Structure 1
Amino acid sequence: MAKEQTDRTTLDLFAHERRPGRPKTNPLTRDEQLRINKRNQLKRDKVRGLKRVELKLNEEAVDALNQLAQARDISRSELIEEMLLAQLKNLTSQ
């Protein structure tokens, strides 16, 4: 049987042919890589004394936070932290 260049149904015939695209640089699957990266991020955060807090906001609030954070050249997370600490300070001083 002759090997036709456009025939991709018999993969064993093309096993040693180089395919275009980005070469695989990591032996792990993408899911495993993401899991490891997330675990490492959580470890880094723990060392820095950070805890994860999740909240849901409407789009208007998020847009306002993004604009304010961008104007102050800080991350949204840092802005929310500053606002919460200021509010907590106000409440405890009353």
Structure 2
Amino acid sequence: MAKEASDLTTIDLFSDEKRPGRPKTNPHSRSVQVKINKRNQVKRDKNNGLKRVEFKIHQDLFEQLDDLAKVKGLSRGELIESILKNSMTATALNISK
């Protein structure tokens, strides 16, 4: 008997065929994987001496920071860090005068 792809009555003939898509390589669900990855990222950041800072800014300022970061070839976080460092240096110079 020939095997036809459109034959639904003999579906058992196709049970050994591989399904398309990426094979499952991790035993954890996606939500558990995300938690594990986030925990590992926090550990890496801590080992690198980094601290997390969150704040809210207006949408216009956010877009300006984003554009400037792209022009300078930096991430938004790196740009904000450099702006803060420059501001701290300038403030320290003004205090010492």
Sort the TM-score into its range (normalised by shorter chain). Answer: 0.7 to 0.9
Q: Secondary structure at the match of 1:40?
A: helix
How is 1:1-94 mapped onto 2 (pairs within 5 angstroms)? 5=8, 19-94=19-94
Larger radius of gyration: 2
Deviation at 1:91, TM superposition (A): 1.3
- The Cα offsets for residues 32-83 of structure 1, whole Å up to 9 and x where unpaired, read as 1011100110111111110000111121111100111111111110000000
TM-score by length of 2: 0.74
Task: Indicate the percent of aligned positions where both proteins have the same amino acid.
Answer: 48
CA distance in 2: counterparts of 1:42 and 1:87, whole angstroms: 27
The one-letter code matched in structure 2 to 1:47 is N
Distance 1:58 1:16 in 2: 57
Q: Unmatched 5+ residue regions in structure 1?
A: 6-14
TM-score w.r.t. length of structure 1: 0.76
SS of structure 2 residue aligned to 1:88: helix
Query: Which sections of structure 2, spanning at least 5 residues, go unmatched?
Result: 1-7, 9-14
Task: State the superposition RMSD in angstroms.
Answer: 2.2
Displacement after TM superposition at 1:20 (Å): 4.1
Letter matched to residue 24 of structure 2: K
Which aligned runs of 4 or more in structure 1 are off by greater than 2 angstroms?
Answer: 15-23
Amino acid at match of 2:68: L
Question: Aligned-pair distance for 1:18?
Answer: 5.3
